[in-house]
């Protein structure tokens, strides 16, 4: 993906102004046969158009009609390990990117790679959720919406997130435990069952199902495309109208 630098934008503006002014000079010279008159017309046109354009833009900047503010929102994907949170959140993020709104993707694995040493006890997880809540709040203060995916197994930590951020949308990615085990190509569930992992959600640690999720996606019943459609429809109905 390429983005024009300020220098490129300025250069393009100057080159277009040069072409337009030169065209005016040529037209005036053709009709009147006077070079001095043609140059004067070109200069006057340039000054007037630059001034009028500036005044026009300043006027429209103050007019609120036709402008729509999009309140930042947070899509919070929660569910058992291997329920499909990350895959679904990634697809939703890609779809939302088409709306050209300020948007960031936050995933549990990326954060844990960034901040190593985060534990998996209830206390550790709750403390970690508070950090994430502050991160999302900071992004929202800068009008940035977020798509976050975390197991977030405890009711109190999800409640804390809801209280910390604006427009929090809990997406419960629901899947039967056996389904999650079948998707586990790395054998994490088996290792947890053998006691190699402690505090592994769904095996030797509890997952408290959300009771007030805005969206419930049953991945045993819905395809990835159908799931994305449900979530995008919700966002378009409530935030991007």
129 burial (CB, 10 Å; 0-12 / 13-18 / 19+) is: buried
Q: Phi and psi of 171, rounded to 5°?
A: -110, 105
Measured between alpha carbons, how far is 84 from 151 in angstroms, rounded to an integer?
10
Measured between alpha carbons, how far is 109 from 205 in angstroms, rounded to an integer?
19
Write out the E strands in the chain: 74-78, 103-107, 145-149, 168-174, 215-218
Indicate which residue of 152, 223, 227, 237 is catalytic. Answer: 152
Nearest C-alpha neighbor of 213 from the set 85, 95, 101 = 85
The token pair that represents 207 in the structure block: 């997952």
Residue for token digits 């994305």?
228
- Residue 78 DSSP SS3: strand
83, 180 contact by CB (below 8 A): yes
Per 3-state DSSP, what percentage of the chain is helix, strand, and coil (rounded to 5)? 55, 10, 35
Listing from the earlier edge strand, what are the strands of the sheet with 145-149? 103-107, 145-149, 74-78, 168-174, 215-218
Instruction: Establish whether 83 is a catalytic residue.
Output: no
Known catalytic residues are 152
């Amino acid at each position: 993906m390429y983005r024009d630098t300020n220098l490129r934008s300025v250069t393009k503006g100057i080159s277009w102004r040069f072409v337009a002014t030169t065209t005016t000079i040529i037209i005036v010279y053709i009709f009147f046969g006077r070079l001095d008159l043609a140059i004067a017309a070109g200069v006057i046109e340039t000054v007037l158009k630059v001034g009028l354009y500036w005044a026009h833009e300043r006027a429209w900047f103050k007019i609120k009609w036709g402008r729509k503010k999009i309140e930042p929102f947070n899509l919070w994907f929660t569910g058992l390990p291997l329920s499909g949170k990350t895959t679904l959140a990634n697809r939703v993020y890609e779809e939302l990117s088409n709306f050209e709104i300020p948007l960031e993707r936050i995933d549990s694995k990326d954060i844990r790679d960034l901040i190593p040493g985060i534990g998996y006890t209830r206390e550790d997880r709750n403390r970690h959720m508070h950090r994430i809540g502050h991160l999302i709040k900071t992004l929202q203060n800068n009008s940035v919406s977020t798509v976050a995916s975390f197991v977030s197994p405890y009711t109190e930590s999800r409640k804390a997130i809801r209280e910390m951020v604006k427009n929090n949308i809990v997406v419960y990615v629901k899947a039967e435990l056996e389904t999650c085990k079948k998707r586990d190509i790395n054998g994490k569930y088996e290792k947890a069952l053998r006691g190699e992992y402690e505090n592994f959600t769904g095996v030797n640690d509890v997952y408290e199902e959300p009771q007030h999720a805005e969206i419930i996606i049953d991945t045993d019943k819905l395809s990835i495309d159908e799931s994305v459609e449900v979530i995008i429809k919700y966002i378009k109905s409530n935030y991007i109208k």
